[in-house]
């Protein structure tokens, strides 16, 4: 039993480190991707392409967990990394959309913290109900 608890603790630590590294790499890269699509393909919209691709990557990798046979931990770790890549791609885009919305409604950038708080409340509730989700980023 102790061995199993040790393996689970090491696995969780590994996933948390993967989450930190992935988010620190992908966040700046997603901003570069938005700028690239805005400059070179303005008809597609930079934010829309990056947001849609991030959602597609994270959703597909989440759904593929069911297709992997038991005992293939490496595949699950790879899919968790892809989930993190897709999710991290969307964060800067959502921040930009929030700031654009606040400026359009004349609330200004001062209300940005309030909007972020309203987004964290559902995420906290989700984390408290679904504690066994592989990685909490």
- What are the pLDDT digits (tens) for 101-127? 888 887 777 777 777 777 777 777 776
Residues in the chain: 137
Domain contains 113: yes
Domain contains 135: no
Tokens coding 37: 């699509």
Tell me the C-alpha distance between 120 and 42, whole Å.
32
Domain contains 137: no
Pair 72, 14: CB distance under 8 Å: no
pLDDT value at 131 more than 70: no
Domain contains 57: yes
Domain count of the chain? Answer: 1
Q: Which range marks the domain in which residue 18 is found?
A: 2-129
Domain contains 35: yes
Q: Looking at residue 136, what is its pLDDT? A: 43
Domain contains 136: no
Pair 86, 54: CB distance under 8 Å: yes
Considering the entire predicted model, what is its pTM?
Answer: 0.64
Residue with the two structure tokens 């964060």: 91
């Amino acid at each position: 039993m102790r061995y199993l608890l040790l393996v689970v603790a090491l696995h969780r630590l590994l996933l948390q480190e993967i989450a930190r590294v992935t988010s620190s790499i992908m966040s700046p890269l997603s901003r570069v991707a938005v700028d690239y699509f805005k400059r070179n393909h303005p008809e597609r919209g930079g934010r829309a392409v990056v947001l849609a691709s991030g959602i597609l990557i994270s959703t597909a990798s989440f759904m593929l967990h069911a297709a992997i046979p038991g005992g293939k931990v490496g595949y699950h770790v790879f899919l968790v990394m892809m989930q993190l890549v897709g999710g991290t791609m969307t964060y800067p885009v959502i921040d930009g959309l929030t700031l654009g919305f606040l400026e359009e409604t004349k609330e200004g950038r001062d209300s940005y913290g309030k909007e972020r708080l309203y987004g964290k409340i559902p995420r906290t509730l989700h984390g408290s109900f679904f504690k066994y989700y592989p990685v909490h980023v």
